[in-house]
Structure 1
């Protein structure tokens, strides 16, 4: 069987030091890429020049248009059998590319695969460690039969990617363009696999504002709109049944807590809801305990519950907005 060629495609906008680490990790790969394409998405910090010093084929866009457009441009310039998409704030492990090549070589039926964040995030602050470790946990405990794609560590056969039109360029921010592509792949009958032994390291530093902005406006809102549009509610990754039940329990907990000064007996229910949240997420907290110890885990729990709160609230808001929007044309016709 002939060898499989891999083209790495990286969009970058003002990548800074993380981008240099990303490129350096590719140089240290045991199995080097056959092609490295970097698309400068209107950057102003000279990231395009840094990419050239690492030997990349650099495509430059005059103004930022988002990673979807940048990845599509890079893919059109690629020659490899496999397109491997990375983010500019991600580093690969020395074995990553070799494992990707082996996966496609030994599984001719495989169309696309996604990997996993590792358990050693690059940024040391609590929020970055918590969020990126939580992603690692989600990847490692999800089904290997995936229904979404992932632009930070995702590989796909180039002819299939091009035949589907690539990423949806209407997403002009780092958003859910990869998830949307995954849904189209599955709808067309192609297979996507979550390969839990294929690792990348996330270097991103999360702060309170940046985390909420990304999770609410760039993930939860557009993802809910996509779910409602396609009626695709597979219990995959962040949409697991445990997460859905946790959202319900979180709202019941908040509601009973607010009402308990008026109805003191509700404190019993508040305690029950809190206990339920701990018990159904015990595997998550055991994971954090094993990785970072007791104090870290105790800090994780309120953040984890807050995640269910804002995620559930965002889903409810987007759902109401979706159906109200659908009703407006009907009301207009009725009048």
Structure 2
């Protein structure tokens, strides 16, 4: 079981994976260097080209010298006080193993879809403030000895490798905090197609696969009662529209308005009526992708088991308990 070393945090090593040569890298690095109380070490991993981001982060972690590893995505522009708040989190909570933040509510995506998507992520993290059972590498920090004891990121997991790491950390006795005051601006450009692909194949299916393998808690992530009701209302709304049932559609919309009132208020506040008008159907689509991911994940799980999936699961990184 991991037990942190008590005492004041002294050194941070920032790790930015950039093996896909992102155009936003310069902005991301410049924001890190100009921040208050900047990190003692900045590692940009841009080689070898084409490797998965988790492998790049593992390479950076092996080169890091700081007590705390701070993972920052190459499309995130950290706020000036981000590292100050990270240091404060570990100083104020000596038992803490890891902490992660959130996107701000002023995204720079350049389109309605991009702004919606980034505001959704901002909202989800603000709703989940406090102790967490997962991790996030968009802007997240973890004690280096805890990271190394876990064997780093599991490069055999498809996507959501940060979430999987957080679950292993919690299972090994670590403490994780979601502090949305640690913020960065997301620079990613989204389209409806990239949103759907990400939600189904890069998040929904991989996470459900972890649940089916017994490696993830099905009550974690976005499975609060609000999410369940919202998903049900979204399915009901589509069914009502298909049947041209105005009363049923009105009921479904009313349900969405109740359970997602805070998020829709955020959309209206940050983007006005135009953002709200675009955001509601995009949010329904986001919810429907979670439903679509279920049969795909089940099919993949069954097919892998029939093909001898035990070999893949045996290749997971070894957790090295502290003696």
TM-score range, shorter chain: 0.7 to 0.9
Residue of structure 1 in register with 2:126 after alignment: 140
Residue of structure 1 in register with 2:219 after alignment: 234
Q: Per-residue CA shift, 1:246-285, capped at 9, x if unaligned?
A: 112222232343345xxxxx54323222221222212211
Equivalent residues of 1:144, 1:195 under 8 A apart: yes
Divergent runs of 4+, >4 A: 323-329
| Cα shift at 1:14 | 3.7
**For 1:316 and 1:247, how far apart are their aligned partners in 2?**
16
Q: Per-residue CA shift, 1:112-157, capped at 9, x if unaligned?
A: 0010101111222111111001111111111411111001111000
**For 1:268 and 1:86, how far apart are their aligned partners in 2?**
47
| Cα shift at 1:3 | 4.7
Equivalent residues of 2:207, 2:216 under 8 A apart: no
Equivalent residues of 1:147, 1:192 under 8 A apart: yes
Residue of structure 2 in register with 1:200 after alignment: 184
Q: Which runs of 5+ in 1 are unaligned?
A: 41-59, 261-265, 330-335
Residue of structure 2 in register with 1:285 after alignment: 264
CA-based RMSD:
2.0
Which of structures 1 and 2 has the bigger CA Rg? 1
Taking the TM superposition and a 5 Å limit, the aligned residue runs for 1:121-270 are 121-171=107-157, 175-229=159-213, 230-236=215-221, 238-260=222-244, 266-270=245-249
Residue of structure 2 in register with 1:102 after alignment: 88
Q: Per-residue CA shift, 1:97-122, capped at 9, x if unaligned?
A: 11111111221100000101011112
**For 2:306 and 2:20, how far apart are their aligned partners in 1?**
43
Residue of structure 2 in register with 1:333 after alignment: none
Equivalent residues of 1:250, 1:305 under 8 A apart: yes
**For 1:188 and 1:284, how far apart are their aligned partners in 2?**
34
Residue of structure 2 in register with 1:310 after alignment: 289
Residue of structure 1 in register with 2:60 after alignment: 74
Q: Secondary structure at the match of 1:4?
A: coil
Work out which structure has the larger RCO, using CA pairs closer than 8 Å and 6 or more positions apart in sequence: 2
Q: Which runs of 5+ in 2 are unaligned?
A: 1-6, 309-323
Q: What TM-score results when the alignment is normalised by the length of structure 1?
A: 0.84
Equivalent residues of 2:131, 2:176 under 8 A apart: yes
Aligned length in residues: 301
